Each structure stands twice: as structure tokens, then as C-alpha cells.
Amino acid sequence: AQSVTQLGSHVSVSEGALVLLRCNYSSSVPPYLFWYVQYPNQGLQLLLKYTSAATLVKGINGFEAEFKKSETSFHLTKPSAHMSDAAEYFCAVRTFGNEKLTFGTGTRLTIIP
């Protein structure tokens, strides 16, 4: 079985401040991990993915995430928040041979001017 927990359903940061969105996963086999962003009334856009290569993964829009097996975590960070980063962020997991993505409940990011 695979599952994802996103700590903090709402996160607010000031413009220019560090963004940290937390994701912990549970998987009995090595996971593939993903972060997606969803803007209001839109579908999901892939930010970045971990597929067992480098543990520090860089994505679009200045985001990055680090896979930490010992902590079963895949937290998303961005050094300096922009107003355009305001959106809902979803962490997701899948495993080899299992095609379905299992999503967390999401974190709504608000940027304070």
C-alpha cells in the first residue's frame, strides 16, 4: 500500500520568504514521488519528480525537493516566494508496476504582499 501525508492544509508566507511545503510518504517498495500545482479552476501541472536518481530534484518555477529515505519525506522548497506561487500543491506517490498515483490532501499556499 502507498499513501501520502501533507502536513499543513494552509501555509502562508511573505513575498520573498522561503517556501516549505511538507510531504511524507508510506510505501513498502521504493517510491516514485511527484509534486503537482493546481491553480484555481485548472488541472494539475507537474512541478517535479523523483524517480530514484538524484535525491535533490529541481523543478519548474524555481522549486526543488529532496528525497530523504530515512525520514520518508519529500518536502518542496523555494528560496523566495512570488505572488504567482499562490496555488494548491499536491504531493503524490506511485511505485513500479502500480500505475495509479496516490495524492495527499493538498496544501493551499498563500503569499502575503
Binding site for another protein (CB under 8 A): 32, 34, 36, 41-46, 49, 51, 90, 92, 94, 98-106
Nearest to 19 by CA among 107, 68, 81, 65: 81
Least distance to another protein from the beta carbon of 51, Å?
A: 5
Least distance to another protein from the beta carbon of 16, Å?
A: 29
Write the DSSP symbol of residue 85: G
Q: Left if phi > 0, otherwise alpha if psi is -120 to 50, otherwise beta: which for 81?
A: beta
Looking at beta carbons only, is 19 or 57 nearer to another protein? 57
Element (H or E) spanning 66, and its range? strand 64-68
Looking at beta carbons only, is 52 or 80 nearer to another protein? 52
Looking at beta carbons only, is 40 or 113 nearer to another protein? 40
